[in-house]
Amino acid sequence: MSSAICSHLRAPGTWLAVIGFVVIGAAGLALPQWQFLVSVALSKGIVALGLALLLRTGLASFGQALFFAVGAYCVGLGMNYYGLTELFALLATSMIVSAVLALVLGFLLARYRDIFFAMLTLALSMICYGLLLNNVELGGSDGFNVNAPTLGSSAQPWQLTGTNLFAVGFIASIVCVMAVALYMRSTPGRLGPAIKDNEIRVEYLGTSARANIHLTYVIAGALAGLGGALQAFNIGHIDPDMAFWTTSGEFVFIAVLSGTRFAFSPFIGALLLEVARAMAYRYAPNTWQIVMGAIMLAIIAFLPGGLTSLGLVRRKPAGGHPVTRTTATASGDAA
């Protein structure tokens, strides 16, 4: 037990996460003007964290915006139709509804791989977008405004805004990274890279690759729902664009940019994306997409394992050439 904890503490991912969260927390408290941007990045990082789990399994979902929107709409509908404002109730509802939806859709999607999986997830997300856009009860194209959530159920509950709301996203991100790091070290978590490498061998070792993919999809859905709920709080408004394919593309961008080596990786990508976008908006308002595209091209060309593949261990086989690891490992540099 103690050796497992020591091993966990020695893992480079653990230190990356600790340092990363310390920096994010300090920056959020010291620079209130950046709190909004960092909060948005954290909520997107949580969605990309789930997507990274799918990518470790060799599956690219171009439809995580579906669950992102469902999570956000659970908040909007809960507040507007049911008067639900309590933070934990809203977060739990968003995660549970998203997870249940992913569970149902997973029965179909877990049967597909590669481009078929990607296209089906995209299609489902666009169906959701169409439903939201054309349904007046769901806010139509205008969506809903979302108020600040509250904490506690007393007569005068604590309304969460500003730094408090940043703290909610910050703590949620830490909890998600810790939970996902533990998952990546568990048997189902270690099966992800194994399935990506060789699904046949996984089956012939006595376990179901499809069931593992289904489970991963449910976890990714729940995380996307949580990210959507937090985003609803951050923005104060939800609309059908949250389910649009470009939103899914943004999550894919973040996951590819950061890599899947560590549980913390997606947060680096999300922060970089938001900062780069803010800078590009300011200094290159008409060409910022070109800047982002150039960044992505550079990452794919020079760091196919993402930013956190920098400094990967090189191992030289006997008589062979050095080998660079570009994928998450089984033992997982998980945290």
User: Smallest gap, in angstroms, from Cβ of residue 266 to other proteins?
Assistant: 20
Q: Indicate the SS3 state at residue 162.
A: helix
Interface with other proteins (CB under 8 A), residue total 28
Q: Does 331 bind other proteins (CB under 8 A)?
A: yes
Among 1, 2, 83, 204, binds other proteins (CB under 8 A): 204
User: Smallest gap, in angstroms, from Cβ of residue 196 to other proteins?
Assistant: 8
Give the interface segment with other proteins, choosing from 24-32, 83-91, 163-171, 195-203 (CB under 8 A).
Answer: 195-203
Q: Does 1 bind other proteins (CB under 8 A)?
A: no
Cα–Cα distance for residue pair 102/207, rounded to 1 Å:
21
Angle formed at CA 130 by CA 127 and CA 134, multiple of 5 degrees: 145
Among 8, 113, 237, 325, binds other proteins (CB under 8 A): 325
Q: In the complex with other proteins, which residue's Cβ is closer, 84 or 330?
A: 330
Cα–Cα distance for residue pair 35/299, rounded to 1 Å:
27
Backbone angles phi, psi at 86, to 5 degrees: -65, 130
Q: Does 111 bind other proteins (CB under 8 A)?
A: no
Q: Does 52 bind other proteins (CB under 8 A)?
A: no
Q: Which helix (H) or strand (E) holds 31?
A: none
Site string for other proteins, 269-288 (x = CB under 8 A): --------------------
Q: Which token pair is 104?
A: 């149902």
Q: Indicate the SS3 state at residue 326.
A: coil
Q: Which token pair is 67?
A: 């669950």
What is the DSSP code string of 228-278? HHHHHHHHSEE-GGGGSHHHHHHHHHHHHHH-SSSSSHHHHHHHHHHHHHH
Among 23, 82, 116, 203, binds other proteins (CB under 8 A): 203
User: Smallest gap, in angstroms, from Cβ of residue 207 to other proteins?
Assistant: 5
Residues from 233 through 252 that contact other proteins (CB under 8 A): none
Of the candidates 259, 184, 166, 246, the residue with the CA atom closest to the CA atom of residue 11 = 184
Among 11, 95, 194, 263, binds other proteins (CB under 8 A): 194
Q: Does 136 bind other proteins (CB under 8 A)?
A: no
Paired with 159 in beta bridges are 150
* Residue 230: exposure state from Cβ atoms within 10 A (0-12, 13-18, ≥19): buried
Q: Does 155 bind other proteins (CB under 8 A)?
A: no
Q: Does 327 bind other proteins (CB under 8 A)?
A: yes
Q: Does 323 bind other proteins (CB under 8 A)?
A: yes
Q: Does 315 bind other proteins (CB under 8 A)?
A: yes
Residues from 163 through 192 that contact other proteins (CB under 8 A): 187, 190-191
Q: In the complex with other proteins, which residue's Cβ is closer, 139 or 332?
A: 332
Chain-centre distance for alpha carbon 223: 6
Cα–Cα distance for residue pair 293/35, rounded to 1 Å:
26
Cα–Cα distance for residue pair 177/227, rounded to 1 Å:
13
Site string for other proteins, 211-230 (x = CB under 8 A): --------------------
Q: Which token pair is 20?
A: 């990363």
Q: In the complex with other proteins, which residue's Cβ is closer, 28 or 193?
A: 193
* Residue 294: exposure state from Cβ atoms within 10 A (0-12, 13-18, ≥19): exposed
Q: Which token pair is 229?
A: 């709920």
Q: In the complex with other proteins, which residue's Cβ is closer, 100 or 330?
A: 330
Give the interface segment with other proteins, choosing from 9-17, 83-91, 204-212, 291-299 (CB under 8 A).
Answer: 204-212
Q: In the complex with other proteins, which residue's Cβ is closer, 74 or 335?
A: 335
DSSP count for the chain of H helices, then E strands: 13, 6
Chain residues binding other proteins by CB under 8 A are 187, 190-191, 193-194, 196-198, 200-208, 315, 317-318, 320, 323, 325-327, 329-331
